A and B are shown apart, each in its own frame.
Chain A
Amino acid sequence: MNKSTIKIFLGVHTWTGLAAGMALFIAFYAGSLTVFFHELEVWDTYHKSSVSEHQSIADAQRLLDLAVENRPGMVSNLRVYPAETDHPVNVVRWYERLANGTFERHEFRLTEAGSLDTAEDNAQLAGFIYQLHYTAGLPATFGIYVLGIVSLIYGLALVTGLLIFLPNLLSDLFSIRRGKNKKRFWLDAHNAVGVISLPWHMMFAWSSVVLCIGIFTIAPFQLLVFDEDLLDLIGPELGVVQPLEPANESAKMLPLADMLAIAERAAPDFSASQLRFTNYGDRQATVQIFGDSNTQTLLTRVGVTLNGSTGEVLAVSHPNTSGIGATIYNGLISLHYVSFGGYLVKWVYFVLGLSGAFLFYSGNLLWIETRRKRRNPVQPATTVFLAKLNSGVCIGCMAAVSAAFLASRVLMDLDDRGEMTEWAYYAVFLLAIAWCFIRPVSVGTRDLLCACAVLTAAIPVADAVVLGMPVWRSVALEEWPLVCVSAVSLVSAVCFWQMGAAVQKRLKLGDANSVWGGSEANVVPSTLAKSVD
């Protein structure tokens, strides 16, 4: 590849990185935490789950009967989540279809006295972090589509990045050159992280496009190629089963225990985690039972569809019997959601997620360093603007996530805890961006890193004060989700503080002709910068 071609790809890599980098930073930072979604739920509901015993399937049956009696219109979009190790309480959820076509969620639980509890669960932290992962904090549907387009650009950035680095792959891959030339250091680190984790990033770009805008990538083929409904063609392979037409005759439903027994006979070694009812109470009611099977492969998801009244098995979807299409599709999705491999793989994903976030942050730093005016204390306005935005969005997101953790713990007894958690995130995030634009780049960045350190270190303190669970007590009681959140928080707080100290050091001792020099002059517009040049 000649130099002019590499230069063109460098240009493409630059604009794609700038266009997608910050949204991807938020997606990767939140995604690395979402790897431990269930553990975060346990952390968030610790004060509740600690007083509840593991409920039985008989309790789930009683809960369902009471919930249906309480809301007679609850026949479809009805789900039962039997108690599992990480959530010892049975839950019934009903997504009521409203007149405007949207859905309202209702939750039902059984109290320890055996009565129906219709209060919504106020622990929303894990769900909120997950939502940040796929929307980057933008309004839900719009955010998903934006992230889908960002993922397309991300794919382009990955391939062009590899092509640029390819000629020096062997000589430069493992060399991180620390020295006066900060650009060299950031470039080496950026290349090493990017190339080593490239296959993982390619998988993420591909699966994210499928998950976020997959419908738009297959819809044109409906018009172009297929006469019959495309979803009817691929649906059965993916285990999608159309519910039975309702007979409009009421019938007694099989007990939950019997349904689960039938499902386990149809798919041996199957552990159910969810039952979805359509036309509950009808002779033609459909029940879809989903769960996992220990297949010792990437694919574990199993689905069994039954007639809820007669128990007749309508369909079974199992990794051992699925076709090539379902295997490839489900394999890609499984790789994305890390639904395999246990905790070791989860921690690997956690580290890779954080290193991915570093990749996007360092990419923007490289752009800033490349455009640095080495003989001029006044830097171009575009460089200063990106430096401020990069610090505000990326470091602000990390501070805001820590603030959300803190708010969720401190406000755990409030009914609107979920909303308050979101408010805490957005307030800190927007304040961080505003602070970076008010202060010089290096000062703003240093302040935000220190704020990150303080907010993150406060999480284990809040556990100790609010829950009465200091780290040593959590260790003694083997409450591992609490221990892990505290340990990761403390390590992160130290890292944030160290990074803040490094920025402070550069502010005091580093080259003044840089956005990191701390000079108020670096807010001067580019026209003035050019004239000074």
Chain B
Amino acid sequence: MLIRSLIAVVLSIPATFAIVGLVLVLTPQTTNIILPVLLLVFPVWVTLTVCSYLIAESRRVAVGLLVIAALGFALIALLRTAGLAVL
């Protein structure tokens, strides 16, 4: 339980920032919804952490969360580099 919980709690953090960051990159600044999106960090982290316990194998959880984080960060970088970010 200790290792599983550590994986769920800690690796959900970068995955959360990746997901919320992606939403922010795609959010037009003029819509004034930056602040509500920033407030989503807590619910997204709780959801990801709880959902990660639904997967039986700790290794799969770790890989899954790391893939979400890596994909999210890569997409953010790509959208910003390509000038497709709405910000």
Contact = CB atoms under 8 A, between A and B. Distances in A.
Contact of B32 (A15, A217, A323): A323
Contacts of B85: 225
A205 B39 contact: no
A233 interface: yes
Contact of B35 (A8, A12, A325): A325
Interface stretch (A155-163, A302-310, A337-345, A417-425): A155-163
Contact of B20 (A152, A156, A206, A221): A221
B21 A12 contact: no
Interface string B47-66: 00110011000000000000
A325 B36 contact: yes
B24 A221 contact: yes
Interface string A302-330: 00000000000000000000011110110
Contacts of A329: 35-36, 39
Given A15-B1, A15-B5, A234-B34, A205 B54 contact: no
Interface of A is mostly: helix
Nearest to B77: A224
Contacts of A218: 38, 41
B61 to A, nearest CB: 12
Contacts of B36: 324-325, 328-329
Contacts of B76: 224-225
A329 B32 CA distance: 12
Interface in A201-239: 205-206, 209-210, 217-218, 220-221, 224-227, 233-234, 237-238
A89 to B, nearest CB: 37
A210 B39 contact: yes
A9 B39 CA distance: 25
A225 B29 CA distance: 12
Interface in B64-87: 73, 76, 80, 85, 87
Nearest to A326: B35
A349 to B, nearest CB: 21
A111 interface: no
B72 to A, nearest CB: 9
Contacts of B80: 225
A218 B17 CA distance: 9
A423 to B, nearest CB: 36
Interface in B4-57: 5, 9, 17, 20-21, 24-25, 29, 32-36, 38-39, 41-43, 45-46, 49-50, 53-54
Contact of B29 (A11, A233, A238, A328): A233
A225 B32 contact: no
A295 interface: no
B39 A328 contact: yes
Nearest to B53: A8
B38 A234 contact: yes
A332 interface: yes
Given A11-B1, A206-B43, A210-B42, A156 B49 contact: yes
A221 B42 contact: no
Nearest to A9: B53
Contacts of B20: 221
A152 B42 contact: yes
Contacts of A5: 53-54
B42 A155 contact: yes
Interface size grouping (class) on chain B: 20 to 34
A160 B46 CA distance: 10
A159 B43 CA distance: 10
B21 A237 contact: no
Interface string A155-180: 11001100100000000000000000
Nearest to B80: A225
A424 B78 CA distance: 59
Contacts of B35: 234, 237-238, 325-326, 328-329
Contacts of A225: 21, 24-25, 76, 80, 85, 87
A179 B84 CA distance: 65
Contact of A325 (B5, B32, B43): B32
Contacts of B21: 220-221, 224-225
Nearest to A238: B35
B38 A237 contact: no
A258 B47 CA distance: 52
A217 B37 CA distance: 11
Contacts of A323: 32
Contacts of B29: 233
Nearest to A227: B87
B42 to A, nearest CB: 5
A159 B8 CA distance: 14
Contact of B42 (A9, A206, A227): A206
Contacts of B32: 237, 323-325
Contacts of B42: 152, 155, 205-206, 209-210, 217
Given A12-B5, A225-B87, A329-B36, 6 more contacts: A155-B42, A205-B42, A206-B42, A221-B21, A224-B73, A325-B35
28 contacts: A11-B1, A12-B1, A12-B5, A12-B50, A15-B1, A155-B46, A156-B9, A156-B46, A156-B49, A159-B46, A205-B42, A209-B41, A217-B41, A218-B41, A221-B17, A224-B73, A225-B85, A226-B24, A226-B87, A238-B35, A323-B32, A324-B32, A324-B33, A325-B34, A328-B35, A329-B35, A329-B39, A332-B39
Across the A-B interface, give the 10 residue pairs with the lowest CB-CB distance, nearest first: A325-B35, A323-B32, A217-B41, A155-B46, A209-B42, A224-B21, A225-B24, A328-B36, A220-B17, A218-B38
